[in-house]
Structure 1
Amino acid sequence: MGTIESTTTSETGYTSVSRVGDYELTVDAANEEGPTPNEVLVADYVSCFIPAFRVGGDKVGFDDLGTIQVEAEADTNERDNLEAIRFSIAVETDLSNEEFDAIVERAENICHVHDALREELHAEIEMDETAL
């Protein structure tokens, strides 16, 4: 199994800079110099789910889904804890509801972030039927 290593530094305030491999990410709990941790988590979830959705599509016979766009929305409570996440997915390829659902089911089993989140925070996923 692999190892993921990251170094995160906060020099002042609520901003921290994480270094993962050759990449750097600025996260700011105050949302002044970068996205908040919750915003990064939601974006990370989507960024993991899209390739999982593509693999799921390939597994059910769609080797090229074309452009995929996900509008993600999350709710937080009064303590700023995530309470719900929703994805609205638009896919360039025309999919029936049954095909979409089959791909989503496979993607949920592939996406590592989906697997890591507590079950009540798994995204509610719907198909956005507007053409891309």
Structure 2
Amino acid sequence: MSDIETITVSEEGFACVNQVGDFEFTVDATDEDGPNPNAALVATYASCFLPAFRVGGQQRDHDDLGKIQIDADATLDDDDDLASIEFAVHVAADLADEEFDEIVARAEDICHVHAALRDGLEADVTVYGDAF
């Protein structure tokens, strides 16, 4: 049994409706009905990194970081693949650079998406010709 199960369906075109538990959202390669897959990945990465940053702060005795906002920028290569991702993390708490560096290092250890973006993690793909 797997730990995460999702269903992704496209009746036609390039928009996909994703079912994750009780949640449903659209990802669209053309950016018409939802964000494209690269944008969705960057947003998911930031959505994982932000709470990891907050936990990293708590683990470094900074329980009240206040509002945190991540402005993510990503660049694409000539094949429209992600080439780089940058996070500008804005934190209400005013800490020393060294303290923020420690929190970032801890957040990188905690963030599951950060860990998943590594060489060698790819889907094992099997295709069935009996779509229902």
Verify same fold: TM over 0.5: yes
Partner of 1:77: 77
Partner of 1:122: none
Rounded Cα–Cα distance in structure 1 between residues aligned with 2:48 and 2:58: 16
Q: Which has the larger radius of gyration?
A: 2
Rounded Cα–Cα distance in structure 1 between residues aligned with 2:17 and 2:79: 23
| Structure 2 CA distance for partners of 1:39 and 1:51, relative to 1, 3 Å | same
Q: Give 1:25 shift.
A: 1.1
Alignment gaps of 5+ in structure 1: 120-132
Alignment gaps of 5+ in structure 2: 120-132
TM-score by length of 2: 0.87
Rounded Cα–Cα distance in structure 1 between residues aligned with 2:37 and 2:2: 24
Q: Give 1:95 shift.
A: 1.1
Residue type at the aligned position of 1:86: E
Partner of 1:113: 113
Q: CA RMSD in A?
A: 1.3
Q: Which has the higher contact order (CA 8 A, sep 6+)?
A: 1
Partner of 1:68: 68
Rounded Cα–Cα distance in structure 1 between residues aligned with 2:43 and 2:21: 19
Q: Between Structure 1 and Structure 2, how many residues are aligned?
A: 119
In the TM superposition, what whole-angstrom CA distance separates every residue of 1:4-34 from its partner, at most 9, and x where no partner exists?
Answer: 0100100110000000000001000011111
Partner of 1:86: 86
Partner of 2:13: 13
Partner of 1:123: none
Counterparts of 1:3-82 in structure 2 under 5 Å? Answer: 3-82=3-82
Residue type at the aligned position of 1:75: T
TM-score by length of 1: 0.87
| Structure 2 CA distance for partners of 1:50 and 1:2, relative to 1, 3 Å | farther
Q: Give 1:99 shift.
A: 0.4
Q: Give 1:118 shift.
A: 2.4
In the TM superposition, what whole-angstrom CA distance separates every residue of 1:65-122 from its partner, at most 9, and x where no partner exists?
Answer: 1000010000001111000000001100001100000000000000000000027xxx
